Amino acid sequence: MSTPTAEAEHDAGLLQLMWLASPALPVGGFSYSEGLEAAVEAELVHDAASAGEWLSQQLRLTLARADLAVLAPALRAWRGGDLERLQALDTWVRRTRESAELRQQSEQMGRSLIEWLKSLGAAPALPPGPLTYPVAFAVAAASQPVGERPLLLAFAFGWAENMVQAAIKSVPLGQAAGQRILARLAREIPQAVDTALALGDGDRQAFSPMLAILSARHEHQYSRLFRS
């Protein structure tokens, strides 16, 4: 029998990451706006330029310093069999969700991702209790021959696709404007990944008060397209 080549293993890992990051994956990412819909309601976001700037700042100031920064250590912890470390990272993510809907999103998407793995017969033996989405994402990718940087790039681009679609629906924007915003985010993602990979445990943070306030307001917003 022939054995897989290194190139074939690399391709398999790359395809797995593309699959995991796809907005088509049935984990519910498309149904959340992460405060963007409330920002539209408050007229902080009102056109393509303001939507692009909002998402760019969210990428750099929130995602890069928190969720992206958890992925690499979670991947190392799971591959190394360090469940205590994995659960500590998961606890950190859960504690840093500053509104009920942000916490619900991370827990629901993590649970749905693990359920999806189970439906494929691919779920690993997991520690008891649910995992938040960034930690579940790292666990889901760990069985593939993928490195830390590609893992973060895939996660960030999947986030960007979901958020651009949220902007298209809620601002609203045309598809061309949405693609221009996505192109901007794609250019900025590598630097955000570099920032995340350089952060140690004491450097991660989830301090974005305006985003937290808008997310909390969204929970009680009169008319909503997205979940809260």
pLDDT at 91 over 90: yes
Mean local confidence (pLDDT), 143-163? 94
Tell me the per-residue pLDDT of 96-136, one tens digit each, with 9 for 90 and over: 999 999 999 999 999 999 888 888 876 667 766 789 999 99
- What string of DSSP letters covers 67-118? HHHHHHHHHHHHHTT-HHHHHHHHHHHHHT--SHHHHHHHHHHHHHHHHHHH
Mean local confidence (pLDDT), 176-200? 98
- What the chain holds in terms of domains, given with CATH numbers, is 31-218 (1.10.4190.10)
Q: How far apart are CA 138 and CA 158, in angstroms?
A: 14
Mean local confidence (pLDDT), 61-90? 96
3-state secondary structure of 120: coil
CA dihedral 104, 213, 168, 135 (to 10 degrees): -40
pLDDT at residue 7, as a whole number: 83
- Backbone CA torsion sign across 96, 201, 36, 141: negative
pLDDT at 227 over 70: no
Lowest mean pLDDT among 24-38, 92-106, 148-162, 178-192: 24-38
Q: How far apart are CA 131 and CA 108, in angstroms?
A: 9
Q: How far apart are CA 166 and CA 84, in angstroms?
A: 36
pTM value is: 0.93
